[in-house]
Chain A
Amino acid sequence: MNEVLRFEGVTFRYPESEIAALDDICLAIDEGTFVLAVGPTGAGKSTFLRAANGLVPHFTGGSFKGRVTVGGRDTMRYPPRKLADVVAFVPQDPASSFVLDRVEDELAYGMENLGVDPAHMRRRVEEMLDLLDIEPLRGRSVRAISGGERQRVAIAAAMAAGPRILVLDEPTSQLDPQGAEHVVAALQRLVHDQGMTVLLAEHRLERVAGSVDLAVGFHEGRAQLGSTADVIRNLAMGPPVARLGRLAGWDPVPLTVREARRMGGALPPRAHDRTEGPGDTMVEIRGLTAAHGDVPAVRDVDLQVGAGEIVALMGRNGAGKTTLLRTIVGVHEPRRGSVRIMGRVPHPGVDAALCPQEPDAILFADTVLDEVRTTLRARGRDEATAGLVLDALGIAPLAACHPRDLSAGQRLLVATAAVAAGGAPVLLLDEPTRGLDPASKDRLVRFLRGHAAHGGVGIFATHDVELAAAVATRVVMLAGGEVIADGDPGAVLGDSLVFAPQMTRAFGSGWLTPEQVAGALA
């Protein structure tokens, strides 16, 4: 087959860094394959993706050894713009990459630069609008649409230019499960029908593991190309079904729900855990309605959350999850209704603290440790406890690092630590697992459980059904700003087609985590 991307002995260090971000990488990818880049947070995936179109080293500087050829062109000799007809790149935060204002113009931008014939361009834009289901957004401003919509626009804009290889950095991290399925299916179609090569980094392996042809596993800057099953086994990570396979000692580990079902056999429905009821009511929301200007975001929500509860807020992009969190913490004024935390109007950062979706907005200190200390100082708490929070979230080794030098997932953990350190009893997290590898996710789960066990409340908005299945004691589903389901995770997620976690899909109602299933099979 025709080779489209080749790395030959590539070693790269960022400027002023001792550690090799990429360490002697040798691999070749054939045209028309769907390749997954996988590995722990900060292992070099993003650097690898950016090296594929020459952004590394043309825009980063640093020391670069070896050779990358894409579509036969050496990236050292061709700057990224001279590779734009061969390779297109969708960065982790699509909003920062938009050049023009209107969605439609944004889709055409790459083609304009390549000098595509206007009549062809016109048709191509229409096709992309349909392929990613964004036709209704065509005239809107890219700054006025939701995060999930932006991600789809960025993907459409990259695909529109008709590259031979499409490189995407966590393309589903901001999408709801349905939107993610849609994007992965669209990518798969490009690979199958048009022979395009797709290379993507993703942590939520349950969303892609069954669709890709090959995987590149990353560990401390080194990379290995192989079958998805091999790579996942070597890295000891993978979707929940793979985790189950490891717990149960299956070989090979399953990668899809179908394989897991075949290997595990049938299980009876699992009875709901008899947990003791929640403690005293901590958060009390009555008749809450909130809006952005004239656009209603939350309608008539009633919710009581007791001490020790961990609540997952779920629902599609734009369902009102973020607005509800912002209203609970006290920075968004409700139109009607009230929020009370332990009987009083919440004071932001004191009664409830919220880690926002964009962690960069809160990071300003020179070191990770200082970032946490600042919160403690502002809240008048003992600064010596900073180390404990870092430890609990597994980022103590990063204490002396500059927050902005870290990977996206690591920055999110630092922001979470900085917010949680203030000691507010109600801890709110907006999309807390974007860019997190499974190990970091496990630590976050333990951290939330610890917070709840000490009489706190955790409420998080997420698209990550596996996170909800693993840690939530209760799931609240929102649609159009209203609560449409509220209850035990087994019940709420179990009878949803879209939101069911892998274990429920494989083994039926009530089964949420690989640990539960492995226990029953043993």
Chain B
Amino acid sequence: MTLHPAAWMAWATCAGVVAFTTTDPFYLGVLVAIAWFVYATCRVPGPTARSFRVFAIGGLMAMAIRTALVFLGTVDASNVAFAALEGARLATLLIVFGTFNAVTDPFGVVRLAPRRFHEPALAAALALSIAPRTIATAGRVREAQQLRGIRTARWRGLPSLAVPVLESGMEEAVTLAESMDARGHGRGRRTRYRPAHWTPAGVAVVVAASAAAGVFLAAAWVGLGGLHPSTSPLTWPEATPWLIGVLLLLALPGIFGAFRDPVA
């Protein structure tokens, strides 16, 4: 799916805003399903597509850790439920982010940043790409150690995994910075090669996503739709059908993706 990178940026931001406004498992569940649908229909083939899985696993781990933290203090049903819902929100945010990474190139987005914001945007893009890169390196290193008969699964084998992964990561970052500088990054005057064009589909995605985010922000403002189910006392969460309908606006890129012209 060749949406304008800025359209993807808008989609991801809006989906993130929606996730941020609610801890209701139904809304979050629908949002996760939408993120998966968009990933499945719009992902760019190649190694970046893996980042969805990485962020999904990371999200589930974050949720588990958030919940487990409760067990350090007073444990009762409402505390656990509260932590689990907070964790679910965090997991949803990460999954949306994973989709964003899998459907568009973070560096492509950086190129759109106005010149004044170029440096912070670049730092952000580099930071975003660290997790998927680290995971790829870890796989490579693990296998390389196996080739000489070292098992990295054991505690004693940990340095043999962690040291090359971290050092390679550092070296990669430095080499990248060097390469960008040597290729004239930050000289000021800049032109663009084949700039991406806005299509009606891209505009529609931005409008739909903004509408969804707007409605959820408004609902949170006036306290409508049970966005935060009560955990004390513990009650069964509820969801309003029309808000679910609004959520489905975020699935629009997936619908475009499913019907895309295979040649384009």
Spell out A's residues near B (CB within 8 Å): 53, 55, 58-59, 79-85, 88-89, 91, 93, 96-102, 104-105, 108-118, 121-122, 125, 140-141, 143-144, 157-158, 161, 329, 331, 348-350, 353-356, 358, 360-364, 374-375, 378-379, 404, 418-419, 421-422, 424
Contact = CB atoms under 8 A, between A and B. Distances in A.
10 contacts: A81-B184, A84-B187, A99-B107, A118-B193, A118-B195, A125-B193, A331-B147, A353-B148, A360-B168, A422-B149
Contacts of A361: 137, 140-141, 143-144, 164, 168
B105, B174, B178: most-surrounded residue (chain A CB, <10 A): B178
Interface residues of B, number: 50
A421 B195 CA distance: 53
A98 B105 CA distance: 13
B119 interface: no
B176 A375 contact: no
Interface in B111-147: 111, 137, 140-141, 143-147
Nearest to A105: B193
A353 B174 contact: no
B193 A374 contact: no
B147 A353 contact: yes
A91 B171 CA distance: 13
A354 B191 contact: no
A83 B184 CA distance: 7
A116 B176 CA distance: 22
Interface string B207-233: 000000000000000000000000000
B240 interface: no
Contact of B149 (A96, A100, A348): A348
A197 B137 CA distance: 36
A125 to B, nearest CB: 7
B32 to A, nearest CB: 26
A78 to B, nearest CB: 11
A59 B146 contact: no
Contacts of B168: 360-361
B183 interface: yes
By Cβ-Cβ distance, the 6 closest A-B pairs, closest first, are A349-B149, A84-B184, A108-B193, A113-B184, A115-B189, A364-B163
Contact of A375 (B148, B151, B182, B187): B148
Contact of A362 (B144, B171, B193): B144
Given A356-B144, A361-B144, A110 B184 contact: yes
B80 to A, nearest CB: 40
Contacts of A121: 191, 193
B46 A143 contact: yes
Given A100-B107, A113-B183, A378 B148 contact: yes
Nearest to A115: B189
A119 to B, nearest CB: 10
A331 B144 CA distance: 9
A111 B193 contact: yes
Contact of A360 (B48, B164, B185, B186): B164
A59 B186 contact: no
B47 interface: yes
Given A329-B147, A348-B149, A349-B146, A97 B159 contact: no
Most chain B CB within a 10 A radius of its CB, from A108, A361, A419: A361
B67 to A, nearest CB: 34
B145 A96 contact: no
B3 to A, nearest CB: 15
